[in-house]
Amino acid sequence: MIKLGTIIKRKFESLVELSLCGYEMEKVKSLLNEIQYLSQLRFLDIVGFRSMEALPEWLGNSTSLHHLDLLKLPNLKCLPSEAAICRLSQLISLSTYLCPLLKEACDKETGTEWSKIEHIPYLSIS
């Protein structure tokens, strides 16, 4: 039996842009682990996962990632660890929209997540 991670790695290893839409998946709280095998991924949009509370730690393995957009994630509270975010050395842009809990956590003055993202050149937290 071939594992899903192996299939994704073989068939989609050159994929550079991915948009994940969770509008029809109300109870999904996490991303598929197999996404971490997309080693060429440069643009990632995560949209509409209403139950997602945290981004997975393995997101730090996406070292080719340049742009991360988080949209309409009302329960998202936290990003991966600071060490994982630092491994995203190519990340130049982080945007959030309609992620109220994350917006509060990323506040420059008082946010618990601010230290994780302050080094990213382009931030749009709204």
- Summarize pLDDT for 52-107 with one digit per residue, the tens: 999 999 999 999 999 999 999 999 999 999 999 999 999 999 999 999 999 999 99
Residues contacting residue 113 through CB under 8 Å, at least 6 positions apart: 78, 79, 102, 105, 106
CATH number of 4-125: 3.80.10
User: If you search the block for the tokens 């509060």, which residue do you land on?
Assistant: 104
Q: Give backbone dihedrals phi and psi of 122, rounded to 5 degrees, phi first.
A: -120, 115
**pTM summary value:** 0.90
Question: What is the DSSP secondary-structure string of 58-73?
Answer: GGGG-TT--EEEEES-
Residues contacting residue 13 through CB under 8 Å, at least 6 positions apart: 37, 38, 39, 40
* Whole-angstrom distance, CA of residue 19 vs CA of residue 53: 18
Q: Give yes or no for a contact between 53 and 83, defined as CB atoms under 8 angstroms apart.
A: no
Residue 24: predicted pLDDT: 76
| pLDDT surpassing 90 at residue 3 | no
The 10s digit of each residue's pLDDT in 29-57 is: 888 888 888 889 999 999 999 999 999 99
Torsion of the alpha carbons at 56, 59, 60 and 64, rounded to the nearest 10: -170
Where along the chain do its domains lie?
4-125
